[in-house]
Structure 1
Amino acid sequence: MQRLHARYPFLEAARESVANEAVDLGTVVQRDPAVVERATQRVITALEEGRTGEPAHETRTELLSYPVARVLVSMVDEQVLVRKYARAEAATAHDRFVEDLESTTELKSVESTGLDLSDLLREFDLETAIERRGDDAFRIDVGTYLPLAEDLWGDEWRLVNRALTDGAVPVDEEELHTLLREAIRSRIEDGLPFEVPGAIADELEAEAAEIRDVLADLELTREIDTVVPELFPPCMKALLDRIQKGEHLPHHSRFAITAFLASIGMTTDEIVDLYRVNSSFGEEMTRYQTDHIRGETSPTEYSPPSCATMQSYGDCVNKDDLCEQIPHPMAYYEERIDDADDEEIEDWREGRGESASAE
């Protein structure tokens, strides 16, 4: 049973198993470097790859790495990390349970490593809310569907686009698996971050510092070469809209949108073309300012302002739910890009001639 819990550490039974064995995390982080190493890898791989990495060979190490990883996430105490970590754990669990569900009865052992659909439905108290209507067809009560689908991007998840009948929403098997992944993500995210006892925090400070460094690099310097205005943060959407209406932007607003567009892969020529609609447009000055922000004619490549700075200048507008959970416009855009399907991105890019200038 411990192998099952190590494979699916979010299960209530896994938590109870650790509690029943009276495992002292303080002792673990002091005396078990393999657990700490795997926990750190869990969090860093979640940030870099959106999954939690290869499991440890030893079941106990894998099982205990999960609560230690949650401690590390809590120590760093950044909402963007909480979200990314929870999504990565949920994505890993999704990969595993889909594999389990596709396995034949002969190949699967629920006692060792596998889950079946009824296990998952029971785990989240969904047995009465979800009804099977065929091999690949299910119905889910609308009151259960809405909270599970609320963080899913894409118009197909909006209730207005679903066939609602007798208080239930029809979903196919793949959609049901996605909703179960969201149930797992919500459980993992719940309670994070929490207060970490000082003795444990002291032992894990080096690992937490390593994660902070990785997070800082990913948030502000990760190369994003996809330009999809539909996925821009609301503040940048608003500034882009003002440019395209020919409005004259104050210097701080102009800097913010130019730095943002440069950071997501637009060339100087493409950015300059955006400003041509402005009656006071001067190509030479616009090109100089853009190259300066890009670091072409200056020793520094400038990052877009943080959310706090955008707020102080009055450029933080039309905030949505995701805005409440991220510290930087680039982090917002990265989340949206990560959540979008490759096909959707390609359709948007083709429809816009590969850049925002096609608007």
Structure 2
Amino acid sequence: MIKLGEAELAKYPFLADAGQHLPEYGFTLEQLAQDPDLAVVREKAFNRIYTTTQTGKIYKPSPKGSTALPLEVLSFILAIVLLKQSRANFLIKKFAMQEARGAERFLERDLGQGTTDIQIETTRKIIWDLAHIEISKRDRYFVIAVPDYLHRAVLFHAREWKLINRQVKDGWVYLNPHETVRLIRQELVNYISDKISSAATPPVVSGLQDMVDKLILLNSKFQPQIAYSDKNPPCVQHAIDTLSDGKNLSHAGRFMLATYLLSRGYNVKEIAPYFKNAPDYNESITLYQLNHLAGKSGNNTQYACQSCAKLKSANLCYATSECEGIHNPMQFGVKR
């Protein structure tokens, strides 16, 4: 694991060893929970969770030099403690997703704007630690071996990610900083999620109980009561189950689920709760997109559920014997 300085740890606090950093800075969990002088850490830790899970906004670290305390690392560590103590599984998934998005911005900026070989090398090593992927800089591009690229690009459905549409030379794929970082997004999310999952769950100490109780309440709001039909086609049920488990569903999968439910006669308010457990859920954006698909905005055209052939091409088909003879999910269960 690369040894990072305070500036890098402020941007990538999940790379810090939580078990070592508290004593390294001379703090115990009890001090973080009770010391009046450390109230700023407690407030920042809770707000860090609230901002990322409730507003859908990406957390922004404090300006450099705004305090003598290593606020970003300490608040991240305490945020993990609070999430573990509250057993807020849905909040944990959302927190990991948004922290990953924030780290993406820093990685992209550091790759694209690194002015020294040391800065770029540090960022390359961070990416290696996160995703075990070797990248090299060539002119204004970053290159990755074809096998490493294909292993990750298979998760993307947009045409620009197809190998035939990429610049390839001598077994290397050429990418800009944004594409390089986007390629490892899921691994970044998994890294942070694993970091939280593997962290110990200490007993709740005095000074943290109120925040833990608030997180338990917030977490309960992400468990909507939805009536699931046993007559949904397998592709739709898979999408519902994915979201219900708090996992990320691709854009194509969300489009399929929304258009299917709209075609079944559901209205926007009835459909929105299906997406509430998505790690990147944002209520206003979800309602806007659903209204657009329902034809209530934009060109006033309601989008139809895509055919089975299109869903297969997007790797969204989970056909069973009951799907035999149908060409669109809307035909599932219809007697022929």
Q: Same fold (TM over 0.5)?
A: yes
Cα 1:131–1:7 change in 2 (3 A) is closer
Residues 94, 181 of structure 1: 8 Å contact kept: yes
The answer for the alignment partner of 2:301 in structure 1 is 353
Amino acid of the structure 1 residue aligned with 2:47 = Q
Residue 192 of structure 1: how far off its partner (Å):
2.3
- TM-score of the aligned structures, taking structure 1 as reference length: 0.55
Map 1:321-336; keep pairs closer than 5 Å: 330-332=276-278
Amino acid of the structure 1 residue aligned with 2:46 = T
Alignment partners' CA distance in 1, 2:188 and 2:284: 18
Partner residue of 1:192 out of 185, 192, 196: 196
**Secondary structure of the equivalent of 2:82?**
helix
Residue 66 of structure 1: how far off its partner (Å):
0.7
Alignment partners' CA distance in 2, 1:265 and 1:209: 38
Q: 1:243-296, CA deviations, whole angstroms, 9 ceiling, x for partnerless residues?
A: xxxxxxxxxxxxxxxxxx9xx799xxx96x746xxxxxxxxxxxxxx79x97xx
Residue 51 of structure 1: how far off its partner (Å):
1.3
Cα 1:346–1:12 change in 2 (3 A) is same
Partner residue of 1:116 out of 106, 115, 119: 119
Cα 1:75–1:347 change in 2 (3 A) is same
Amino acid of the structure 1 residue aligned with 2:121 = S
Map 1:1-359; keep pairs closer than 5 Å: 1-12=5-16, 18=22, 20-31=24-35, 32-47=38-53, 48-53=55-60, 55=62, 57-58=66-67, 59-101=69-111, 103=113, 105=115, 116-125=119-128, 129-135=134-140, 137-145=141-149, 154=158, 156-157=160-161, 168-179=172-183, 181-193=185-197, 194-200=199-205, 203-217=207-221, 220=224, 234-235=236-237, 274=264, 330-332=276-278, 353-356=301-304
**Secondary structure of the equivalent of 2:128?**
coil
Amino acid of the structure 1 residue aligned with 2:302 = E
**Secondary structure of the equivalent of 1:198?**
coil
**Secondary structure of the equivalent of 1:197?**
coil
Alignment partners' CA distance in 2, 1:181 and 1:132: 20
Cα 1:29–1:237 change in 2 (3 A) is closer
Cα 1:236–1:86 change in 2 (3 A) is closer
Residue 207 of structure 1: how far off its partner (Å):
1.3
Residues 87, 216 of structure 2: 8 Å contact kept: no
Amino acid of the structure 2 residue aligned with 1:354 = Q
Alignment partners' CA distance in 1, 2:264 and 2:271: 19
Q: Structure 2 unaligned runs (5+)?
A: 226-233, 241-254, 308-336
Cα 1:82–1:160 change in 2 (3 A) is farther
Residues 168, 174 of structure 2: 8 Å contact kept: yes
Residues 87, 185 of structure 1: 8 Å contact kept: yes
Residues 42, 69 of structure 1: 8 Å contact kept: yes
The percentage of aligned residue pairs carrying the same residue is 20
Residues 163, 169 of structure 1: 8 Å contact kept: yes
Residue 145 of structure 1: how far off its partner (Å):
3.5
Larger Rg: 1
Alignment partners' CA distance in 2, 1:118 and 1:3: 15
Amino acid of the structure 2 residue aligned with 1:46 = T
Residue 39 of structure 1: how far off its partner (Å):
0.5
Q: 1:285-329, CA deviations, whole angstroms, 9 ceiling, x for partnerless residues?
A: xxxxx79x97xxxxxx8996xxxxxxxxxxxxxxxxxxxxxxx66
Cα 1:78–1:28 change in 2 (3 A) is closer
Residue 159 of structure 1: how far off its partner (Å):
6.1
Residues 97, 116 of structure 1: 8 Å contact kept: no
Cα 1:152–1:9 change in 2 (3 A) is farther
Q: CA-atom RMSD, angstroms?
A: 5.2
Q: 1:108-136, CA deviations, whole angstroms, 9 ceiling, x for partnerless residues?
A: 9x9xxxx933212112437982233331x
Residues 50, 87 of structure 1: 8 Å contact kept: no
Alignment partners' CA distance in 1, 2:17 and 2:6: 10
Amino acid of the structure 2 residue aligned with 1:2 = E
Cα 1:334–1:138 change in 2 (3 A) is closer
Cα 1:24–1:167 change in 2 (3 A) is farther
